[in-house]
A and B are shown apart, each in its own frame.
Chain A
Amino acid sequence: MRKRVICLGMSLLLLVTSFSASFTAFANQNAKTDTQLNEETQAVVDALNSSSKLSSYYDYYNHHISDTSHIGYVSVKGTDFTKADSSKIEEVDGVKAVVLDSGNEWVEYEIDIPEDGKYGISIDYYQMPHKEKDIEITIKVDGKIPFIESQQMALPRLWEDDIDPDNVPEGAYFECSDKNGAADDIRPSQREKSIWTTRDLIDLRGSYSEPYQYYLTAGKHIVRMELEREAVAIASISFGNDADAISYNDYIAQFSDADYVKSADGEDLTIKQQAEETFSKNNITLYPTYDKSGASTEPNDPAYTKLNTIGQANWSTNGFEFVWKVNAKKAGLYKLSIRARQNFNEGMFSYRALKINGEIPFKEAEAIKFKYRQGWYMLTLGNGDKENPKDYYVHLNEGENSVSLTCTTGDMDAVLRNIQQSVLQLNEIYRQIISVTSVQPDVYRDYTLDQQIPTLEDDLKAAEKFLKETSKIVQNITGTAGSQASSIDYVTKIVGELAVDPYIIPERLSSFKAAIETLGGLITTIGKLALEIDYLVFQPVDEATPPVGKGFINSLGFSCQQFISSFTVDYNMTATDGATADKADIVKVWVSTGRDQANIINRLIKDNADKLVTADGKKISIQLSMVDTGATLIRATLSGKGPDCALMIGENTPMELAARGALLPLTKYKAALADQFYESAWTPFYYQNELYALPETQVFDLMFYRTDVFEEMGIEPPKTWDDFYYVMEILQNSNLVVGVPEIDSANAGVSAGIRTFDKFLVQNGGTYYNDDLSETLFTTEKGYSAFEKWVELYSMYGLDRSFDFYSRFRTGEMPLALQSYTSYNQLKTAAPELNGLWSIATIPGTKMEDGTVNIGQTSINAGCIMLKSAKTKNIEEAASVFLSWWVSADTQAEYARELEATLGVAARYNPANKVAFEALGWTADEAAVITEQWESVTAMPEIPGNYLLKRAITSAFRSVMNGKNTPRRALTIYNTDINDEIMRKRIEFGIE
């Protein structure tokens, strides 16, 4: 990972140095002839090659743009390797294959290439059991990695719905907690579908709709495949490309009149395939979804949620695919209609490739366009011509056919790669500008930008031209000047104005930055081609397409039923498991999360019924309710309507409740779990030497930095605060800024902590309270010095006190920042153009006397609690079994996995359980950084009255910043308030 990042950074650096030449070359590619283009790009690529650094596929692609693609395949068997690194040959599912199952194992093959040209790679593989993530491999040709992307070739795992046929109600497809179907469908978990499958190596971002093309000369080549992640068995590898699919006219000409399926009396030849009943899918997030918006989606129920559609926002990444098995009574040509809804991408099309029995039948099916519309519509495969419509028929065999729809970017791929390139280029220009003007330029000053950055005008003009061309492509595709095209035009206009008159740049800098952000946002919207489908229907060619809706009267009736049932159905209760249990011993659990999370927990409870038993073998019944457990929890407890257990409780609540005697101590359950957690996970949950919560999550800060900027400036991510100040100085010389959150405003919780102050304090060996937790220790030398260092960051080093980390990090004007490690998720999902350009590291530390660096900090924790009512109801044992099960490694890992599967990487869970953490999708390097930081985390105990701590420290800080106090004086004064409150609370709770 590290090596990769550096390589990437270096290559970007090179790109930057040869910026003007290369940029002009790429920008003008459409205007120039291929030879001209080649000469110019050749220079760049040669420069790249000469320094043996990796180029991106963008450069590689452009360099080889005029080379021919080889049609037909050269295959080599997986077992026929010439060299290998301890790879095993095994028979997997009846096929002899080579198995790669531990990190960096590799195999080498010798292949004989018939002619010079571009070759796609297609691999016949089998997913071996491992951590359930997609398999990643590196492809090297003759010992070299041809382009950066070749290091992360993904081979997706296949999945299917995990359905237990015994629990499925009559006539339904999905499980339901009620045998008659009178309840919400339970979203099935996804289980691996282990079958042999063949897949081309493609770009998941969708910038290239064809597979990655490797340029190979005629003759023998050594191709090495190295495993990066997971485990895989390989049966064969093929090099080459499919011939272009035939046109529909050629396709249909193959069939005679007898092949057209016509409706026949007494025989229903129509095949309706509910889209949610899939055979397989190639991503774990492609689970069944539901549409409750109207009566027409099948199947439906006014009161309950029925899983009746598939796709939605998760089905938006290039290559994501559903496979259905449809049974045809008669072989022949059918008319295909799809009931679909595309209300995700306004003004744009979502493209899908249709395959019948593994092959795209004709060219027109390579990218079927689903247009944007708010409601559902029927799309009948055809020429799409309004005046002269013609349906396209597809041929099905008698018996089982496999039908698949694959997400593809179609002809939008060129737009995507242009925009990605533009964003990188404009960000580079932006950074060059602010290195002269700073981010907050003086508009009345002439910075002589044209002299300071001689290439500026040309760069801007080239960028403008490039954008103009991109906009034209978009308009050609969408046919209208939709919102995407107008966003590009808006950016083009701003860039153009700057190019004409560089003197206005200081004044327009913020709008220039906003424009780049707009463009960056487009990558996510254009590259995400979401679609939702209800069913596919194959009909005899002479039948009319079924209507899209059920008509007004039915819809009205359905809506009325929906409204009426909203009074009777308890939507907050996800399910009551245990129809056999009598009411008294049900463990009532409250959870304050979204519905998806609650559903996952519910499913976990159901799946683990065998683990949820008391010592005498009695099954535990659990009732899960979604309640926002803030003040409600206390009020409900007071009125006797509270739960027995509550999950996802902030770190100060257990202490607050325990001090009032509302909780049961959980100390005796710690021993069995202790080795799965760091000690810091438990600390906040102690009150008077008893433990009152079991840890669920733990969050702390990491250092985020832009590898490209760091490479460019020749600096290393800082390890200590001294390094940090040094790096900060270098960055500030170029008018770049560093982000350190002043006060953790995102976590406004009472004791969320004053995160930066904490870091200095903890690293000094300081702590909040004295040993008997009766007083703070801020007015010690350690406290004063930590407070002073904290204040100095803003008063002396002039850091911004509030900033928008995400957008500033994205443009690169803030290439270094300390942020909660959950920011990783946001960057990963919402800033795809930055992939590979940033990295995480441990926070700066303080050098200790023995030479080690203390990178300590505090964490924010959450946990689960057991309330007094569990004792009065005599279900303490059952509740404790549940809680211990819930925080255990297996459950937390499964929850995390399911959560990520349901909501994507953006929802990556941050378990306090360190064993569960290992099962998450972090790469080894990322996990190592997080673990190293985690080990140094301490947590502060929670004590009554500590809500005043954050307030007082904040006020002390602000009074210094507002020039009202000196740091020491402020801390001393406000510290008195904290201690007074602590004392008062100690008396109230009878501790003193």
Chain B
Amino acid sequence: MNKSHTSWLRVLSVLQAVTLGLVVMLHFGPDESGPDSASNARPESTITWLQDDASSRVSQMIETERLKSALREVLNEELETFNDGESASGAAIQVSHAPPGGDDLHAGREAAAVSNAIVRQAISAGVWTAEDTETLMPHLGTLSEAQRLELIDQFYSAINRQELNVEDVPPL
């Protein structure tokens, strides 16, 4: 780390302290109504409190982002599992259902992920079979209107590109 960089850090630290001090002074400035224990709180402890609060918020944000990233990884791994291996042979896809009484939103997202994977698999194979319909149907009832429309769009697009031989008709 060179000297100029160190100098910038010092400048930023000073500016930060000055800014916090100004905030404290404006918020906890001299009370004209008279002595008051709350308004006469020591600025040093207030600065510490502000710093601690900001620090904990940043920590929470970082933790939230880590959780989101981990969830994304898990979902991508699950989707890859449906697209790899057995998809080439056209075997039925094993599905884990949402637990009874589970969150509807979670169930909808899972059903959408599975349904889209089934359609993608059929498009890759170039044919939609009766088995595909049978595999898809348990999940269609859980989809929201928007999720079903997304599925329909994917399915119809493949049909109109003449990329899908429809041997059986799914309820789409």
Same complex origin of A and B: no
